[in-house]
Amino acid sequence: MLEVMEDMLQYREYMAQALELARKGAGWVDPNPLVGAVVVRDGEVLAAGYHDRYRGPHAERMAFDYADAHGIDLTGATVIDTLEPCCHVGSQPACTSLILAHGIARVVVGSVDPNPIVAGKGLSLLEEAGIEVVRDVMREECDAINRHFFHYITTGMPYIVDSRRRVGESDAEYAARRRGLYATYAAVLGARLPDRTERLDVSDDDFAHFDGPVQAIDADEVVIGRHKPLYLDVRALADADSDEWLRELGKRKIDSLIVESDEAFERLSTACQKD
């Protein structure tokens, strides 16, 4: 029992490192999930990686590529993964195949991937191949970093948050919260384009996210892999059914949406989450 407890403490330590890595992809991997991976053996970190951009290498592949490039043998090592490894081939190879090819002995995961094409299949495949699987290590924390992805992949609609000023929120608190949202959400729904003179007593550098691709989208545009949000005019909702409109955004791969205006909030209030 003591050995199991010590193992779990180590797993949590390495999972915290994997979470820190995963967060580096925030705003860059949409509509894919944030994922971090750490490969360890005998108390030593051998390799690590994270998903850093849409259609880029997955976290596990980043770690394995590093090990391969530096001649590091991973036989018998443990992979600490914030999210279940994928078991299908898309724009990247299946991570389960890479794990098997590198002689990994154990895989420790935080979250199970809710994507129907994975959804436990990756872990089952590894177990069937004789790899030990440890589930649900820091699951709450691992689930939390992918709330956008989990909602989007299970509903087909973006995760929505109300970004209007809260009661009792200071200028500095409001500005900081908006900066955080603009840095990680895919789109903004408001009554007008953001006004660069609306500075809330902060510097130009603090609001640099208003530069670049903050724009309206047309009916045919697919939005992927942006690190700054697209601007959507609330008038687009005028004659639309709210759920159908949100599903259309989902089809365009908009996985998360900031609601800025009172008018927009009235239309979408039932779908808004608390962040």
* 106 vs 252 pLDDT, higher one: 106
Q: Assess contact for 265 and 272: CB atoms under 8 A.
A: yes
φ, ψ of residue 149 to 5 degrees: the values are: -65, -45
The CA-based angle 229-233-234, given to 5 degrees, is 120
Kindly give, in sequence order, each residue whose CB lies less than 8 Å from that of residue 162, ignoring residues fewer than 6 positions away.
259, 265, 269, 272, 274
Q: Assess contact for 61 and 76: CB atoms under 8 A.
A: no
Asked if residue 105 has pLDDT above 60, the reply is yes
Asked if residue 202 has pLDDT above 50, the reply is no
Q: Assess contact for 28 and 225: CB atoms under 8 A.
A: yes
Kindly give, in sequence order, each residue whose CB lies less than 8 Å from that of residue 185, ignoring residues fewer than 6 positions away.
27, 148, 161, 229, 256, 257, 258
Asked if residue 142 has pLDDT above 90, the reply is yes
CA 83 to CA 146: how far, in whole Å? 9
State residue 193's pLDDT score.
52
Q: Assess contact for 86 and 95: CB atoms under 8 A.
A: yes
State residue 233's pLDDT score.
77
State residue 147's pLDDT score.
93
Indicate the SS3 state at residue 272: strand
Residue 226's pLDDT band, with cuts at 50, 70 and 90, is low
Mean pLDDT over residues 90-119, rounded?
Answer: 87
Q: Assess contact for 239 and 170: CB atoms under 8 A.
A: no
Indicate the SS3 state at residue 45: strand
Nearest Cα neighbor of 180 from 158, 206, 201 is 206
Residue in 60, 84, 248, 263 annotated catalytic: 60
Q: Assess contact for 57 and 36: CB atoms under 8 A.
A: no
* 128 vs 208 pLDDT, higher one: 128
Name the pairing type of β-strands 159-162 and 272-273.
parallel
* 1 vs 44 pLDDT, higher one: 44
* 229 vs 47 pLDDT, higher one: 47
Mean pLDDT over residues 30-57, rounded?
Answer: 91
Give the sheet arrangement for strand 132-134, strand by strand. 44-50, 36-41, 78-83, 106-111, 132-134
Residue 129's pLDDT band, with cuts at 50, 70 and 90, is very high
State residue 273's pLDDT score.
67
* 224 vs 109 pLDDT, higher one: 109
* 87 vs 58 pLDDT, higher one: 58
Mean pLDDT over residues 86-115, rounded?
Answer: 86
- Paired with 45 in beta bridges are 40
State residue 5's pLDDT score.
47
Indicate the SS3 state at residue 226: coil
State residue 2's pLDDT score.
35
Q: Is 263 a catalytic residue?
A: no
Residue 3's pLDDT band, with cuts at 50, 70 and 90, is very low
State the average pLDDT for the chain: 82
Indicate the SS3 state at residue 37: strand
Q: Assess contact for 146 and 154: CB atoms under 8 A.
A: no
CA 61 to CA 31: how far, in whole Å? 19
